[in-house]
Amino acid sequence: MKIDVKIKELDQKIFHPKRILLMSFLIALGSVSQGDLKKKCELTWGELTSHLKQLEKANYVTERQVPTIKGPRSIITVTQQGIKAYKLTLSQLKHFLENRDEI
């Protein structure tokens, strides 16, 4: 059987340990503030900002400002396109791992 998924063919916007983690939390929790996402993923502000920019550029997440008593908060939400790309990437990884003996 020929393997039709190669690691280099995976969506590089998602196929990164920290971006997979971010997407996993966003899909599991729905909309999340940047602060909560930073804490849950144990990232620095620089890492979070950098990875969110990559995901936003790919239209996988959106950011909106929400006023709160403590001041405005940035809320991050995964898009339908992001959910599809995430599921496809996980499916491709699963296929790759299940067929590793044929590599």
Q: Flag whether pLDDT at 64 surpasses 80.
A: yes
Q: What percent of the chain has pLDDT over 70?
A: 88
Q: What percent of the chain has pLDDT over 90?
A: 60
Q: What kind of fold does domain 12-96 have according to CATH? A: Arc Repressor Mutant, subunit A (1.10.10)
Q: What residue has token string 């496809």?
A: 88
Q: Flag whether pLDDT at 19 surpasses 80.
A: yes
Q: Flag whether pLDDT at 25 surpasses 60.
A: yes
Domain regions of the chain by residue span: 12-96
Provide the pLDDT confidence category of residue 18 given band limits of 50, 70 and 90.
Answer: very high
Closest CA to 82 of 40, 37, 24, 5: 24
Q: Angle of helix 45-57 relative to helix 34-41, nearest 10 degrees?
A: 110
Give me the chain's average pLDDT, please.
Answer: 87
